[in-house]
């Protein structure tokens, strides 16, 4: 059969095959449309409305966004979110990497230790917050009792009673809760490094630091980028842990973006301001997206640099 006759038939067959493939993808796209795209559209539409959840919505234009620009408490929550995220990342990522390398190099009972460090990740962040509210209490808290009883401090520490110490406590609890999953991701990445490279480095007399710096870290670059990106998004979207541990206190010192906008959606002491909360939600999502895209661009530029 001539190629001129065969080619249109083949193209028609490929188009039919593509159409069948798209139809097969449709069932998986419907939940995404129902539970992702529609809520996002709903949020964006209501960000231009004035609505309390009871009466009919009224179009307000950009009034909600104008109000947000002048809302000092909102921008303080944004700043607290960045501080909380930066504090966690600076401690959590290097610590997870070092511990993963220690276990990778054959520490005895490494599996047991990895399991112990991973266990907090299994718990709900809300449950972790409730547990640490009890542990960090100024009066009768086990940690303060231990510190005072051992003579390390003279008076109980107000872990959750002052803005600075409360934010530091929040960072510490967040690191404890999420260290394990990052450790396992790094450890899994290290397991893919060829043994020949490590053996060659050992024969050349390279120590642990040189091996980590010149072999392990370069080989782990793709995993590291993923771990950091997941951590950035997770910390910027924090809600459960902050809500149960500090509830944004004291005096808004640990208020983050999503606990702040939650108050306008569901605060029981006042009438809901769903339009304003939607505007805050849209802005918070944009902030998370901008920071995530900026990190991706920086990491890619570093990867492609000569």
Q: Is residue 29 part of a domain?
A: no
Contacts of 257 (CB under 8 A, 6+ apart): 74, 77, 78, 81, 236, 280, 284, 287
Q: What is the mean pLDDT of residues 177-188?
A: 92
Higher pLDDT, 31 or 274: 274
Q: Give 302's pLDDT tier (boundaries 50, 70, 90).
A: low
Cα gap 102→221, rounded to integer Å: 18
Q: Is residue 56 part of a domain?
A: no
Q: Is residue 24 part of a domain?
A: no
pLDDT at 269: 67
Cα gap 125→238, rounded to integer Å: 9
Q: Is residue 250 part of a domain?
A: yes
Helices (H) and strands (E) in the chain, counts: 15, 2
Higher pLDDT, 106 or 143: 143
CATH number at residue 252: 1.10.3720.10
Q: Is residue 20 part of a domain?
A: no
Q: Give 294's pLDDT tier (boundaries 50, 70, 90).
A: very high
Q: Give 303's pLDDT tier (boundaries 50, 70, 90).
A: low
SS3 51: coil
Could you list the residue range(s) of the whole structural domain that residue 159 is in?
63-302
Q: Is residue 178 part of a domain?
A: yes
Q: Is the pLDDT of residue 87 over 80?
A: yes
Q: Is residue 11 part of a domain?
A: no
Q: What is the mean pLDDT of residues 230-244?
A: 92
Q: Is residue 37 part of a domain?
A: no
pLDDT at 199: 79
Q: What is the DSSP letter of 34?
A: I
Cα gap 247→143, rounded to integer Å: 20
pLDDT at 1: 46
Q: Is the pLDDT of residue 134 over 70?
A: yes
pTM here is 0.85
The number of domains in the chain is 1
Higher pLDDT, 86 or 54: 86
As a whole number of Å, the end-to-end CA separation of the chain is 52
CB 155 within 8 A of CB 98: no
């Amino acid at each position: 059969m001539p190629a001129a006759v065969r080619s249109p038939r083949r193209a028609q067959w490929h188009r039919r095959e593509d159409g069948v493939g798209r139809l097969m993808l449709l069932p998986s796209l419907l939940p995404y449309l129902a539970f992702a795209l529609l809520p996002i559209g709903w949020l964006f539409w209501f960000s231009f409305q004035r609505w309390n959840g009871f009466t009919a919505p009224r179009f307000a234009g950009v009034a909600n966004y104008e109000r947000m620009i002048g809302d000092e408490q909102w921008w303080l929550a944004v700043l607290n979110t960045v501080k909380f995220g930066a504090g966690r990342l600076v401690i959590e990522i290097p610590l997870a990497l070092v511990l993963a390398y220690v276990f990778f190099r054959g520490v005895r009972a490494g599996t047991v230790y990895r399991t112990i460090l991973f266990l907090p990740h299994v718990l709900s962040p809300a449950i972790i917050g409730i547990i640490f509210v009890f542990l960090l209490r100024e009066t009768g808290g086990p940690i303060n009792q231990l510190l005072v009883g051992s003579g390390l401090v003279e008076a109980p520490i107000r872990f959750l009673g002052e803005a600075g110490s409360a934010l530091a406590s929040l960072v510490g609890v967040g690191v404890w809760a999420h260290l394990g999953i990052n450790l396992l991701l790094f450890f899994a990445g290290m397991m893919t490094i060829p043994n020949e490279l490590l053996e060659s480095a050992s024969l050349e007399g390279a120590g642990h630091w040189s091996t980590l710096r010149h072999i392990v870290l370069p080989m782990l670059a793709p995993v590291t980028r993923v771990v950091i990106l997941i951590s950035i998004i997770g910390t910027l979207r924090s809600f459960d842990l902050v809500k149960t541990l500090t509830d944004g206190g004291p005096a808004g010192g640990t208020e983050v973006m999503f606990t702040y906008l939650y108050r306008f959606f569901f605060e029981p002491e006042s009438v809901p301001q769903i339009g304003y909360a939607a505007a805050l939600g849209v802005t918070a999502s944009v902030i998370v997206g901008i920071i995530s895209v900026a990190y991706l661009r920086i990491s890619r530029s570093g990867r492609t640099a000569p």
